[in-house]
Amino acid sequence: MASTLKLEIVTPDRMVLSEDVEYVGCPGIEGEFGIMPSHVPFLSALGIGNLYYKLDGRNYYVFVAGGFAEVSDNKVTILAEVAEKAHEIDVERARKAQERAEQRAREQQEKVDFSRNQAALRRALMRMSCQDSGKGAGTC
Ligand code: ATP
């Protein structure tokens, strides 16, 4: 059995990451799933959350929102709508996005698209938690 697998994270704008890793924890739309080397072929939609991978005893964190994860030939391909490595996250921007979403939630309900606002709030909260998890962890 292989001891590592290739992880590629791609968005419409850029290649975010391409690394050989030991494990990937992925935020699927129905909850987190883990992928080890030699995993069987697999396809899942991504939710909004924090992907992490393990390499040489360290964890590395990447925020992802929407898209798909595909596993085949000992490779995990993350086709994400949006992805940022922990150290790329602008926490102040996320905090402002959180405030806007919370303010909208307090406004007249009929004017607010509830699920869109919930997604914006979750993106903001998950970005902050990703940046926090990334502190003291490895920089990918
Ligand atoms: P905002 O309202 O601040 O734009 P958002 O959640 O609506 O936040 P997205 O639509 O998820 O933003 O992302 C739009 C682009 O901005 C993407 O390229 C994303 O990587 C980038 N981005 C958004 N927020 C941040 C952040 N806090 N730090 C770094 N990049 C960010």
What are the extents of the domains in the chain? 1-140
% of the chain beyond a pLDDT of 90:
84
Regarding beta strands 5-10 and 75-85, do their DSSP bridges make them parallel or antiparallel, or are they unpaired?
A: parallel
Question: pLDDT tens across 28-49, in order?
Answer: 999 999 999 999 999 999 999 9
Q: Find out whether the beta carbon of 79 lies less than 6 Å from any atom of ligand 1.
A: no
62 touches ligand 1 (CB under 6 Å): no
Closest ligand 1 atom to residue 91 Cα is: 27
Ligand 1 atom nearest the C-alpha of 89 is: 28
Q: What are phi and psi of 26, to 5 degrees?
A: -125, 135
Q: Which CATH fold topology does 1-140 show?
A: ATP Synthase; domain 1 (2.60.15)
Q: Could you tell me the pTM of the whole model?
A: 0.94
pLDDT of residue 107: 82
CA pair distance 86, 66, nearest whole angstrom: 17
CA distances to 51, 52, 101, 116, 136 from 34, in Å: 10, 10, 31, 28, 22
Work out which ligand 1 atom sits closest to the CA atom of 11: 18
Query: 99 in ligand 1 pocket by Cβ < 6 Å?
Result: no
CA distance 81 to 66: 5
Tokens of 27: 């935020």
Q: What is the dihedral of CA 127, 28, 30, 132, to 10 degrees?
A: -30
